[in-house]
Structure 1
Amino acid sequence: MAGHTGGRLMEQTASARLKSQRKKRFRQNIPLLILFVPIILYFAIFKYAPMLGLVIAFKDYSFRDGILGSPWIGIDNFKLLFDNPMMLEIIRNTLILSLLNIIVGFPFPIMLAILINEVRKAWFKKTVQTLVYLPHFLNWVIIGGIIVTLFAQQAGTINLLLEKLTGSIYPFLYNELSWITIYVGSGIWKSMGWGAIIYLAALSAISPDLYEAASIDGASKWRQMWHITLPGIRSTIVLVFILSMGNLMEVGFDHVYVLQNSAVSSISEVISTWNYKMGLRGNQFSVGAALGLFESLIGLIFVITANRIARRYGESIW
């Protein structure tokens, strides 16, 4: 009996000590929690509060009646969307361009980060980093102007050179295959430098001792990359890949819109551009909200699916 009582006293003492430690830790972290308050407010006001507006996807919305006063029409907006004969083509285009962005573009930041990490001259490394990061800070309107200057059919720099060399020109921006190539290539050029920052941070966490040991054992640079570098950043690669799957249905409006033209509309018309033309310019706000909600739900499904697959290999993010 005495032993049982003593055990309970020890448990109570341990529990009280644990609570005291938690309170102490909380008090120590109060400055950090205060710093975190603006972040919480930002997401609450600009990310979560606007989600309430998704209710118009199930209403016949009008400015006069407002969100609350507009009549409910259930899923009629979704029926209207998928009765549109163009919708399957628009979804197909979105998936094709998104998959090309991910499949073709995903390895480039990884390769760039590994190459930059191998540079030993500090001045050269900083110069290269600055040059490859710079396109990220350019607006798509500027990049679209650069692309038109280079690839325009009549006065484009490349076609002027082709005409001098071969006597003929090529409609780069009016042929579907070349348009897709330019679209994917310009996306890689703009984003790979910024994307490499994440992988460079992950590479800095790999111990140099591993490379020294591998070098002593006679491993080449390729062997070191395959057996040390890539496994060392594998969790980061999986994390970025899972997050990128959430954007599979979101090609991005600016990128497509600045390169779009009627000659390639059969491949360049995607959800975001159609939503802008019909939802905003056509004043079909409820239909646009319905399509945006559909796009977000599909993206959520892709993220969950990718995470479950990664979980089987011990690399999930939740």
Structure 2
Amino acid sequence: MTTLDQPAARPPSADAPPGDSPQRASRPRRRDMGLLWFLIPGIVVLLLFQYIPLLGNVIAFQDYQPYIGIMHSRWSGLQNFDVIFNGDQGFLHALVNTLELTLIQVIFVFPAPVLLALALNSLVSDRVKKWVQNVLYLPHFLSWVVVVALFQQMLGNDGMLNLFLRAHEMGSWNIIGNPDLFKGLLTSQVIWKDTGWGTILFLAALSRVDNDLYEAAAMDGASRLRQTWHVTLPALRGLVILLLILRLGDALSVGFEQILLQQGGVGLDQSEVLDTYVYNNGLIGGQWGVSAAVGLVKGIVGVVLVLGANKIAHLFGEEGVYQS
């Protein structure tokens, strides 16, 4: 029974939006459940190979012996961390080399994909752009064994460069085995191998920039350089900050396989980093607890750097990796 002030309720119309019906609102969720099942294999892989192995960090607090296992190894407390807190010379040397390589790669390696993406984006012909992209992507799919072998064939003592110099009586130039050039060699190898692949995200971000912004800037008299500065770079700022934060998480990891393959030619003074220090003292030297302690501290430092950089990004108005 209704009154004049309160009209009778009408039944839901067939033209009502899906949000008006609880049954219809639940349909997308049921539909997405099928997609969520595909996440299960990835979650299982993460659990088995990423999270469960974290429990092995307990050996950082033990005098771990592989032949008696974790359950029976003697507890040593913080004794394994003395190599860090008391300044073991081998550890300090590896730490200094790691920080130097990290700084070099942040300065030279990280901006390389951005600059290459800007250069590719300026190409007029899409056909040429796709061909150049395919060529630049190829080195990423080569293993470090192949990359190091290629550089040795080109720059080694008996490589193409020195054969050319000797053929023209110009002496030789020792690059591969020169400790003073080792860090520069590592950086050039990383740039050659991964810069092309790193442009994918930046080119995707550039493709979303509205062309009307460039036309408006050109009508205002902005040159190509000023269009890049005021239109292109602001479009990449969020992505650059995000990738830089993620890069800080691996700041103390500077290429284990790449360095280990070339360590014998230059010696430990210039090539020993934290990852190779853990390998040489853990698997080779048998100091399992000390190596685990170094690896644990390195992981904690990476987490702190990511959290700190993400907080700074929020202060400057960027989203960062996650919202707090």
TM-score (structure 2 length as normaliser): 0.87
Aligned length: 303
Q: Secondary structure at the match of 1:86?
A: helix
Q: Which residue of 2 aligns with 1:184?
A: 187
The 1:289–1:19 alpha-carbon spacing in structure 2 relative to 1, beyond 3 Å, is farther
Residues in 2 aligned to 1:258 and 1:81: alpha-carbon distance in whole angstroms: 26
How many angstroms does 1:88 deviate by?
0.8
Q: Which residue of 2 aligns with 1:97?
A: 101
Equivalent runs, 1:117-196 vs 2, <5 Å: 117-153=121-157, 155-165=158-168, 167-196=170-199
Q: Which residue of 2 aligns with 1:6?
A: none
Note if 1:218 corresponds to 2:221.
yes
Structure 2 letter corresponding to 1:174: G
Residues in 2 aligned to 1:279 and 1:62: alpha-carbon distance in whole angstroms: 11
Q: Which residue of 2 aligns with 1:239?
A: 242
**1:77 alignment partner, one of 67, 77, 80:** 80
Note if 1:37 corresponds to 2:40.
yes
**2:92 alignment partner, one of 88, 103, 114:** 88
Residues in 2 aligned to 1:142 and 1:112: alpha-carbon distance in whole angstroms: 24
Q: Secondary structure at the match of 1:173?
A: coil
Equivalent runs, 1:62-73 vs 2, <5 Å: 62-73=65-76
How many angstroms does 1:170 deviate by?
2.3
Structure with greater proportional helix content: 1
Structure 2 letter corresponding to 1:205: R
The 1:25–1:62 alpha-carbon spacing in structure 2 relative to 1, beyond 3 Å, is same
Deviates more, 1:141-150 or 1:277-286: 277-286
Structure 1 outlier segments of 4+, above 4 Å: 17-25
For the aligned residue pairs, the C-alpha RMSD in angstroms reads 2.2
Residues in 2 aligned to 1:135 and 1:87: alpha-carbon distance in whole angstroms: 33
Q: Secondary structure at the match of 1:260?
A: helix
How many angstroms does 1:200 deviate by?
1.0
How many angstroms does 1:30 deviate by?
0.9
Deviates more, 1:208-217 or 1:182-191: 208-217
Deviates more, 1:80-89 or 1:285-294: 80-89
Note if 1:290 corresponds to 2:267.
no
Residues in 2 aligned to 1:230 and 1:20: alpha-carbon distance in whole angstroms: 46
User: Any idea what the Cα deviations from partners look like across 1:175-208, whole Å, max 9, x if unmatched?
Assistant: 3332221111111111111111111111112112
Q: Secondary structure at the match of 2:225?
A: helix
Deviates more, 1:70-79 or 1:242-251: 70-79
Task: Give the conservation status (yes or no) of the 8 Å contact 1:307–1:317.
Answer: yes
Gaps (5+ residues) in structure 1? 1-16
Task: Give the conservation status (yes or no) of the 8 Å contact 2:182–2:266.
Answer: no
Residues in 2 aligned to 1:63 and 1:119: alpha-carbon distance in whole angstroms: 58
Q: Which residue of 1 aligns with 2:14?
A: none
The 1:22–1:176 alpha-carbon spacing in structure 2 relative to 1, beyond 3 Å, is farther
**1:203 alignment partner, one of 206, 215, 218:** 206
Q: Which residue of 1 aligns with 2:112?
A: 108
**2:54 alignment partner, one of 34, 37, 51:** 51
Q: Secondary structure at the match of 2:38?
A: helix
Residues in 1 aligned to 2:22 and 2:126: alpha-carbon distance in whole angstroms: 50
How many angstroms does 1:255 deviate by?
1.3
How many angstroms does 1:229 deviate by?
0.6
How many angstroms does 1:82 deviate by?
4.8
User: Any idea what the Cα deviations from partners look like across 1:237-285, whole Å, max 9, x if unmatched?
Assistant: 0000000011111112111112223544212111111211211122222
Deviates more, 1:269-278 or 1:21-30: 21-30
Residues in 1 aligned to 2:209 and 2:38: alpha-carbon distance in whole angstroms: 30
Deviates more, 1:64-73 or 1:95-104: 64-73
User: Any idea what the Cα deviations from partners look like across 1:204-256, whole Å, max 9, x if unmatched?
Assistant: 12112212222233322211111111101110000000000111111121111
Task: Give the conservation status (yes or no) of the 8 Å contact 2:91–2:277.
Answer: no
Task: Give the conservation status (yes or no) of the 8 Å contact 1:81–1:287.
Answer: no
**2:282 alignment partner, one of 279, 289, 297:** 279
Task: Give the conservation status (yes or no) of the 8 Å contact 1:174–1:264.
Answer: no
How many angstroms does 1:25 deviate by?
4.3
Task: Give the conservation status (yes or no) of the 8 Å contact 2:213–2:231.
Answer: yes
TM-score (structure 1 length as normaliser): 0.88
The 1:162–1:198 alpha-carbon spacing in structure 2 relative to 1, beyond 3 Å, is same
How many angstroms does 1:81 deviate by?
4.9
How many angstroms does 1:19 deviate by?
7.5
Q: Which residue of 2 aligns with 1:248?
A: 251
Task: Give the conservation status (yes or no) of the 8 Å contact 1:91–1:270.
Answer: yes
How many angstroms does 1:122 deviate by?
2.5
Task: Give the conservation status (yes or no) of the 8 Å contact 1:183–1:259.
Answer: no
Residues in 2 aligned to 1:82 and 1:150: alpha-carbon distance in whole angstroms: 43
Deviates more, 1:266-275 or 1:135-144: 266-275
